[in-house]
Structure 1
Amino acid sequence: SLFALGSIISPLIVAAFLVDYNSWWKPFFVALFGGAFLVAFAPLLFRIPFVGSNQKATHFKKEVFSKKVFWLILAGVLLYVGYEIGFTSWLSSFVFETKGIEMRYASVFPALLWTGIFIGRLLAGFFVDRLGYELSLLFMVSIAFVSFGAALLLSSPVTIGIAVVFAGFGFSGTFPTLQAILISTMKDGIGFAIGMFTVAASIGGAISNFFVGFLGHQFGMMAGVLFIMFLIFLEIVVVLLIIRLKAVVKDA
Structure 2
Amino acid sequence: MYSLLLAIVYVAFISLGLPDSLLGAGWPVMHQDLGVSLGLAGVLTMIIAGGTIVSSLASDRLTRRWGAGLVTAVSVGTTAVALLGFSFSPSFWVLCLWAVPYGLGAGAVDAALNNYVALHYAARHMNWLHSFWGVGASISPFIMSYALSAGWGWSSAYRIVGVTQVVLTALLVASLPLWGKVHRVAPTGEHEETSGQRAAHVPLARVVRIPGVLLVLTAFFAYCALESTSILWAATYLVSDRGVDATAAAAFASLFLLGITGGRFLAGFFADRVGDRFLIRGGFAAVGVGVVLIALPVGTDALALAGLVVAGLGCAPVYPAIIHSTPVNFGRENSQAVVGVQMAAAYTGSTLAPPAFGALSTWLGTGVLPVFLGVLVVLGLVMSERLNRLVDRR
Q: Same fold (TM over 0.5)?
A: yes
Cα deviation digits, residues 148-177 of structure 1 (max 9, x gap): 111121553333222211111111111000
1:125 to 242, 265, 268: 268
Counterpart of 1:230 in structure 2 is: 375
| Separation (CA, whole Å) in 1 of partners of 2:230 and 2:153 | 22
1:114 to 257, 263, 275: 257
| Separation (CA, whole Å) in 2 of partners of 1:138 and 1:121 | 15
Higher relative contact order (CA 8 A, sep 6+): 1
Asked if 2 retains the 8 angstrom alpha-carbon contact of 1:11 and 1:108, the reply is: no
Cα deviation digits, residues 172-202 of structure 1 (max 9, x gap): 1110000011133332143322221111100
Counterpart of 2:163 in structure 1 is: 40
Asked if 1 retains the 8 angstrom alpha-carbon contact of 2:235 and 2:246, the reply is: yes
- Name the larger-Rg structure: 2
Identical residues among aligned pairs (%): 21
| Separation (CA, whole Å) in 2 of partners of 1:205 and 1:168 | 16
Counterpart of 1:214 in structure 2 is: 359
Output the aligned Cα RMSD. Answer: 3.2
CA distance 1:78–1:165, shift in 2 (3 Å): same
1:139 aligns with 2:282: yes
1:187 aligns with 2:332: yes
Counterpart of 1:152, as a letter, is: A
Counterpart of 1:2 in structure 2 is: 132
What is the CA-CA distance between 1:55 and the residue it aligns to?
Answer: 6.3
1:172 aligns with 2:311: no
What is the CA-CA distance between 1:13 and the residue it aligns to?
Answer: 11
Counterpart of 2:47 in structure 1 is: none
Counterpart of 1:235, as a letter, is: G
Counterpart of 1:84 in structure 2 is: 227
Give the TM-score taking structure 2 as reference length. 0.53
Counterpart of 1:72 in structure 2 is: 215
What is the CA-CA distance between 1:31 and the residue it aligns to?
Answer: 7.5
| Separation (CA, whole Å) in 1 of partners of 2:167 and 2:243 | 46
Asked if 2 retains the 8 angstrom alpha-carbon contact of 1:69 and 1:245, the reply is: yes
What is the CA-CA distance between 1:63 and the residue it aligns to?
Answer: 5.7
CA distance 1:151–1:33, shift in 2 (3 Å): farther
Please give the residue correspondences for 1:147-166 in structure 2 after superposition, counting only pairs within 5 Å: 147-153=290-296, 154-166=298-310
Q: Which moved more, 1:98-107 or 1:1-10?
A: 1-10
| Separation (CA, whole Å) in 1 of partners of 2:141 and 2:162 | 21
What is the CA-CA distance between 1:88 and the residue it aligns to?
Answer: 0.7
CA distance 1:36–1:13, shift in 2 (3 Å): closer
| Separation (CA, whole Å) in 1 of partners of 2:238 and 2:369 | 13
Counterpart of 2:313, as a letter, is: F
| Separation (CA, whole Å) in 2 of partners of 1:128 and 1:203 | 27
Counterpart of 1:20 in structure 2 is: none
Asked if 2 retains the 8 angstrom alpha-carbon contact of 1:114 and 1:168, the reply is: yes
| Separation (CA, whole Å) in 2 of partners of 1:235 and 1:163 | 19
Pairs aligned (count)? 238
Cα deviation digits, residues 11-39 of structure 1 (max 9, x gap): 9999x9xxxxxxxx99xx99776444312
Cα deviation digits, residues 115-155 of structure 1 (max 9, x gap): 32223212212333233221321112111111111112155
Asked if 2 retains the 8 angstrom alpha-carbon contact of 1:212 and 1:228, the reply is: no
CA distance 1:144–1:187, shift in 2 (3 Å): same
Asked if 2 retains the 8 angstrom alpha-carbon contact of 1:76 and 1:238, the reply is: yes
